[in-house]
């Protein structure tokens, strides 16, 4: 059953109304007709099954059949901060990271980032990434739509990180030294409702100066196993590790 994320103003206890891109998807892509059932999720993460009752020239109207009690989200809130990578790698990180349960994504300007976003380009990039997150959240039946934040500098990232319970840097030099305990320790200690911020460098990794600056602000550098992972692979490794520890083992 197709899932759609709606604003609270589009759904109440009894009725739904869908416009915009989702209207186009329902009518042009899915070619649904009155009588079809869909799943809708509001801004508060509440999920309902709804039946389409009418399709007008610009809106899909329906009635709520049943509100569902779902447990789809990671019990630990995970934010992925990625140094701006080349090409479509950030698209991939957001798409697959959403499927794996990330709550937020933060692009940040790292010293070794080849890619640079001006203000106009950044706005379009964030809009595109948010759309990718929405589509991935619908496909994977999430009950929360992950947020893609505006790009940050390392200093802004440090300031943003003050409210997190755990702050980890995926640093390849730690992997080379065989460090394996810090991530496992955090995942063993973390309690439901707590938060983890993971920082990943771009191609070429983080500089020693960046790691020192983050470490001075309370971040912990850790390895992600004995192999060196690509910038688009490392966040997915971390999310899979979180899921295994806090969902499967518990």
What CA dihedral angle connects 103, 109, 115 and 119, to 10 degrees? Answer: 90
Global confidence as pTM: 0.92
From the options 2.60.40.10, 3.40.50.720, 2.40.240.20, 2.60.120.10, give the CATH code of 3-68.
2.40.240.20
Map out the domains of the chain as residue ranges.
3-68, 77-248
* Cα distance between residue 172 and residue 225, in whole Å: 9
Instruction: Give me the residue label for tokens 């460098």.
Output: 201
Strand order in the sheet with 3-5: 3-5, 37-41, 47-55, 60-68, 15-18
pLDDT tens across the length of the chain (250 residues): 999 999 999 999 999 999 999 999 999 999 999 999 999 999 999 999 999 999 999 999 999 999 998 888 999 999 999 999 999 999 999 999 999 999 999 999 999 999 888 888 899 999 999 999 999 999 999 999 999 999 999 999 999 999 999 999 998 776 566 567 899 999 999 999 999 999 999 999 999 999 999 999 999 999 898 888 999 999 999 999 999 999 988 7
Q: 77-248, what's its fold? A: Alpha/beta knot (3.40.1280)
- Residue 157: which H helix or E strand, with range? helix 154-160
- Beta-carbon-side half-sphere exposure of residue 159 (alpha carbons within 13 Å): 6
DSSP for 170-182?
E-HHHHHTT--HH
């Amino acid at each position: 059953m197709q899932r759609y994320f709606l604003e609270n103003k589009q759904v109440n206890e009894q009725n739904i109304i869908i416009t915009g891109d989702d209207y186009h998807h329902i009518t042009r892509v899915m070619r649904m007709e009155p009588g079809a059932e869909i799943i809708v999720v509001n801004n508060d993460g509440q999920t309902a099954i709804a039946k389409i009752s009418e399709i007008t020239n610009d809106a899909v109207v329906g009635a709520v059949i049943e509100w569902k009690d779902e447990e789809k989200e990671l019990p630990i809130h995970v934010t992925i901060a990625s140094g701006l990578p080349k090409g479509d790698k950030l698209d991939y990180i957001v798409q697959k990271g959403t499927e794996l349960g990330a709550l937020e994504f933060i692009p940040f300007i790292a010293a070794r980032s080849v890619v640079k976003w001006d203000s106009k380009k950044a706005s379009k990039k964030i809009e595109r990434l948010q759309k990718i997150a929405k589509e991935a959240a619908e496909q994977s039946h999430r009950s929360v739509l992950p947020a893609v934040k505006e790009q940050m500098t390392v200093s802004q990232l440090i300031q943003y990180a003050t409210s997190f319970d755990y702050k980890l840097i995926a640093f390849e030099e730690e992997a080379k030294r065989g460090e394996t305990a810090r991530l496992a320790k955090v995942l063993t200690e973390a309690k439901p409702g707590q938060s983890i911020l993971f920082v990943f460098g771009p191609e070429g990794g983080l500089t020693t100066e960046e790691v020192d600056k983050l470490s001075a602000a309370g971040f912990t550098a850790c390895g992600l196993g004995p192999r060196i992972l690509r910038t688009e692979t490392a966040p997915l490794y971390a999310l899979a590790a979180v899921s295994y520890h806090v969902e499967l083992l518990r």
